[in-house]
Structure 1
């Protein structure tokens, strides 16, 4: 027997079998194949797998179609979201502009009313020194009050004997009085509030605790 023949006879069957097994490179190549081609290779390798492989092909096609539909839905929703964001941004811009315009008009109207009040005061002061300007001043004050009321400004005018509200009343002085201790005796100066917000508290005198 020659040395070559002896080498063939002494070869390891397990080594030969391992040589026939697919390597990692082969596995990677199979994984890289398109699903449809991979199914064809399965059918070519074993005809008994034709039916399950065909079912697998159908399943893969159905899943691919479903993925395509979902991707289309995602694209549509993304486009709608982008449009909605743009519309909302434009809405905020328009709303801000409208608010600024309304504020400007409201300020303009208020100034116009206040200038009328000032004109009345100027006319009252232009009268002779010996003239009685009180009626004119009272009329001007009424006009001014109406202007404030038109702006929803309310007067804070507590009555004698009312409890002191720290948020709406500012105590200027404590005096002896027949009023219950700690209650308002008199108004030193009226206050103002607008939209439930105190612009200026009413200044009051309060009865002492004695």
Structure 2
């Protein structure tokens, strides 16, 4: 073999050996980039962006706008809810205060009427022992009854012969009577009720059985 042929053969061998060596790892050249950076590179490069890349960027921007709008709505609703809670708390406070004021005024009015009744009783007792105080006492009683009626207090006054109502009548005594057995004979003391609630049952006598 000539020297020239040997040289050509050696060069070919070196070329084949270089071709068999592994190429550098291309993955090392790929940077870890965000979606926005990747899209910027695709759309802002000198090359004409592909249609899928442009469409993807438009969709992402639309979604970002929608998310921002929803966040604004959430903030507005949260603020409205906070104001509503504060308004309701103030409403409850005002209502409670108004109820307390109404109760105080109602009590004040009742006390004023009762003091008038007491003054009438005092005047009746201040009369001479020989004076007939019955008319004054009766007038005072009428004033007192009107005060109770103004407060929606009703009297429980069953009539003779009425059936006994355990919720509204209290039997004090059973007596012999011409009335049917177990019915009311007489009222020992009137009762009182207010707003369908018995404040004090009427005390009655009842006809004995047989």
**Given the two structures, how large is their TM-score scaled by the length of structure 1?**
0.78
Residue 161 to residue 40, structure 1, CA distance change in 2 (3 Å): same
Structure-2 residue corresponding to 1:166: 166
Deviation string, structure 1 residues 72-131 (Cα, Å, up to 9, x no partner): 111111111111111111112222222111111111111111111001111111111122
Give distance in 2, aligned partners of 1:49 and 1:206.
108
Residue 55 to residue 165, structure 1, CA distance change in 2 (3 Å): farther
**Which aligned pairs between 1:27-66 and structure 2 lie closer than 5 A?**
29-30=32-33, 33=34, 35-40=35-40, 50-66=50-66
Larger Cα-atom Rg: 2
Structure-2 residue corresponding to 1:143: 143
**Which aligned pairs between 1:1-210 and structure 2 lie closer than 5 A?**
29-30=32-33, 33=34, 35-40=35-40, 50-210=50-210
Unmatched runs of 5 consecutive residues or more in structure 1: none
How far 1:209 sits from its partner (Å)?
3.3
Q: CA RMSD in A?
A: 3.1
Deviation string, structure 1 residues 121-170 (Cα, Å, up to 9, x no partner): 11111111122111111110000001111111111111222222222222
Residue 145 to residue 21, structure 1, CA distance change in 2 (3 Å): same
Residue 141 to residue 54, structure 1, CA distance change in 2 (3 Å): same
Q: Which has the larger displacement, 113-122 or 92-101?
A: 92-101
Give distance in 2, aligned partners of 1:10 and 1:137.
130
Give distance in 2, aligned partners of 1:175 and 1:49.
114
Unmatched runs of 5 consecutive residues or more in structure 2: 1-15
Q: Which has the larger displacement, 179-188 or 132-141?
A: 179-188
Q: Which has the larger displacement, 162-171 or 186-195?
A: 162-171
How far 1:189 sits from its partner (Å)?
0.9
Residue 121 to residue 37, structure 1, CA distance change in 2 (3 Å): same
Residue 69 to residue 208, structure 1, CA distance change in 2 (3 Å): farther
Residue 50 to residue 169, structure 1, CA distance change in 2 (3 Å): farther
**Given the two structures, how large is their TM-score scaled by the length of structure 2?**
0.78
